[in-house]
Amino acid sequence: MEFLHWIEQTGLSIWIREASTAWAYPAVITLHSAGLAVLVGLSVVIALRILGVAPGLPLSALEKLYPLIWLGFGVNAVSGVGLIVADPVAMLTNPLMAIKLLLVGAAVGSLVLIRRRVLRSPVVQSDVVPPGGKTLAFASLALWIAATTVGRLTAYLGAQLPL
Amino acid sequence: MAYIEAFAGWIAGTPVSWFVNGLRWTWPVAETLHFLGMALLIGTVGLLDARMLGLFRQLPVAALQRLAPWGVLGFVINLVTGFLFFAGAPEQYIHDSIFWYKMLFIALAGVNVFVFYVSGLARRVDRLGPGEPTPVAAKVVAASSLFLWFGVLYWGRMLPFLGGAF
């Protein structure tokens, strides 16, 4: 708690929270939304394809989306730290934040598993989804939806900053 | 503006407005759906735009265009949830210039989509073979689309900060 109050007093925290150039906090939170759009959006596209939507998309080509997905994740990791630093007491004493981070971790794990077990499986060359692939896709969808939902809810149940 | 004011006044008295303001969870649920709809829209449409701009050439454009209905679904989810937000505080939104910028960008994005389909550009792009470059017109549409939709995201996010909202 002491540590969290200490973070709150640092220059970075004060800058993000109160910069008289009103753009600091809005910029960080916009980046977080944009990163989410890319990260969750593309993850959903991959899951949808595995579940049979747009069958013209070669499964083997989906791997090419991963660098952009990881970029979205990176933007959100950095902006996420920025959001936490701006209001560390509220963010880090909110149990929903821990749940969200766990869900994000699991969702990222599902992406990694999809890449290894589905997109790199030899049967994928004939555009066939290996066994367990569809289950993984459903799980990934569910995890990203859950992470986004809990992320949104942290704003309503705990944080003191504007929504 | 008088008509808009009248409309806002009327909406504020409807059951929809009560649904948003009177129940504790309507807004959080609607907002969560709004974010998910946004991710769906940007994921599908944005990917098609990126492809038209030359990224991910291994993905056939025609197949990516099959994702468009899901983008429309995302848009519809956001149209409905967006209407709920509006109904909850119409007076606040109609006097907020940031809200009108967001609506403008959505309208422009709609025009962009309309032009893409009506001009035959969508059909032309559909027939592109692997490795074939996209026509310049398609790149203009794609770049505009990305700019406009991320712009919508930006204005939406800025509502509590730049405008008079909340």
Contact, B11 vs B86, CB < 8 A? Answer: yes
Contacts of B162 in chain A (CB under 8 A): 22, 26
Point out the residue among B47, B160, B161 whose CB comes nearest to the CB of A45. Answer: B47
Entry pTM: 0.89
In this prediction, residue A136 carries a pLDDT of: 96
ipTM score: 0.91
Contacts of A56 in chain B (CB under 8 A): 60, 62-63, 66
| Of B77, B112, B72, B99, the residue nearest B165 (C-alpha) | B99
* Residue B81 scores a pLDDT above 90: yes
B63 touches chain A (CB under 8 A): yes
In angstroms, the CA A66 to CA A121 distance is 16
Point out the residue among A30, A55, A68 whose CB comes nearest to the CB of B154. Answer: A30
pLDDT in tens, chain A (163 residues): 777 777 777 767 776 666 545 677 888 889 999 999 999 999 999 999 999 999 999 999 999 999 999 999 999 999 999 888 888 888 888 889 999 999 999 999 999 999 999 999 999 888 899 999 999 999 999 999 999 999 998 877 754 444 4
In this prediction, residue A20 carries a pLDDT of: 46
User: What's the number of CA atoms in the CB half-sphere (13 Å) around residue A101?
Assistant: 11
Contact, A158 vs A96, CB < 8 A? Answer: yes
Contact, B151 vs B105, CB < 8 A? Answer: yes
Q: Transcribe A55-109 into DSSP letters.
A: TTS-GGGGGGGHHHHHHHHHHHHHHHHHHHHHSHHHHHT-HHHHHHHHHHHHHHH
Q: Do B59 and A61 touch (CB under 8 A)?
A: yes
In angstroms, the CA B107 to CA B109 distance is 5
Structure tokens at A109: 């794990």
| Of B143, A35, A7, A100, the residue nearest A27 (C-alpha) | A35
Contact, A63 vs A115, CB < 8 A? Answer: yes
Q: Which residues 82-141 on chain B approach chain A with CB closer than 8 angstroms?
A: none
At B89-109, the pLDDT tens digits run 898 899 899 999 999 999 999
**Best A46, A65, A96, A143 residue to mutate vs chain B (most B CBs within 10 Å):** A65
In sequence order, the 6+-apart residues with CB closer than 8 A to the CB of B95 are: B164
Radius of gyration of chain A (CA): 18
Burial of A87 (0-12, 13-18, 19+ CB in 10 A): buried
A44 touches chain B (CB under 8 A): yes
